[in-house]
Amino acid sequence: MDDEPRIEDARTLAGVPDGFDRFWTPYRMAYINGDHKPADASAEECPFCAAPARPDEDALIVHRGSTCFVLMNLYPYNAGHMLVCPYRHVSDYTELTGPERVELGELTATAMEVERAVAHPHGFNLGMNQGEVAGAGIAAHLHQHIVPRWAGDANFLPIIARTKAIPELLEEARTRLAEAWPKQAPVTSGSAPTTPRPQED
Ligand SMILES: [Zn+2]
């Protein structure tokens, strides 16, 4: 048995040119090859189920909503790569409740606005990979990718990300984004209302 991943020359495959640039992220191979991957698809093994129980700084959580939360991707395709997850351990977009779908969309939009205010990206890639065959790293727990893009970023970020973004710049990025996230009325009753922060940028 040969368990080694097979590398196939892209030139031997059929393809249709499109308007998208391709990201080549060889540093993700360690992850694709199974390092730090959950042993199974259960909620007990799931990093997205474990994250909300930990402090924001440890779990790289940027914002906690009522049904969904936002965190930094530990394996970023690019600087500022965030994920929006429902708290519930569900794998497929069709399994989300109406309120979860609404909040996942709202948090995605807010994450884009916050990222724009903090780091001025030129564009974004958004998306959900449904199932391992579609490229989902943690297929058992739905997550929406928010990947900021800068002109020319694919030239150097795989190298920068591999050597510096983890974990040092990830924590810095989390703090910047969390501080820039718009403040809302408190979720818990009885605490003092917070004044919305003035827009800084
Ligand atoms: Zn989960």
The pLDDT tens digits of the residues spanning 175-198 come to 999 999 998 755 444 444 444 444
Q: Which amino acid is present at 139?
A: A
Q: What is the model's pLDDT at position 176?
A: 92
Q: How far is the CA of 89 from the centre of ligand 1 (A)?
A: 4
Residue with tokens 């606005």: 113
Q: How far is the CA of 151 from the centre of ligand 1 (A)?
A: 34
φ and ψ at 94, to 5 degrees? -70, -15
Helix axes 98-119, 170-180, angle to 10 degrees: 110
Q: What is the model's pLDDT at position 133?
A: 85
Q: How far is the CA of 123 from the centre of ligand 1 (A)?
A: 29
Alpha-carbon distance values, 165 to 15, 58, 72, 75, 162 (Å): 32, 15, 11, 9, 6
Identify the segments of the chain with pLDDT beneath 70.
1-37, 153-168, 185-201
| Tokens encoding 7 | 């590398």
Q: Which of 162, 176, 74, 60 is nearest to 115 (CA)?
A: 176
- Residues known to be catalytic: 143
Q: What is the model's pLDDT at position 45?
A: 85
Please give the DSSP secondary-structure letter assigned to residue 93. G
Q: What is the model's pLDDT at position 25?
A: 47
Q: What is the model's pLDDT at position 201?
A: 45
| 83 vs 68: CA distance, rounded Å | 10
Q: What is the model's pLDDT at position 85?
A: 97
In this structure, the dihedral spanned by the alpha carbons of residues 182, 53, 93 and 70, taken in order and rounded to 10 degrees, is 20
Q: How far is the CA of 25 from the centre of ligand 1 (A)?
A: 25
Tell me which fold the domain 23-180 belongs to: HIT family, subunit A (3.30.428)
Q: What is the model's pLDDT at position 98?
A: 97
What are 45-80's pLDDT values in tens digits?
Answer: 899 999 999 999 999 999 999 999 999 998 887 888
Q: What is the model's pLDDT at position 26?
A: 43
Q: What is the model's pLDDT at position 49?
A: 95
Q: How far is the CA of 42 from the centre of ligand 1 (A)?
A: 7
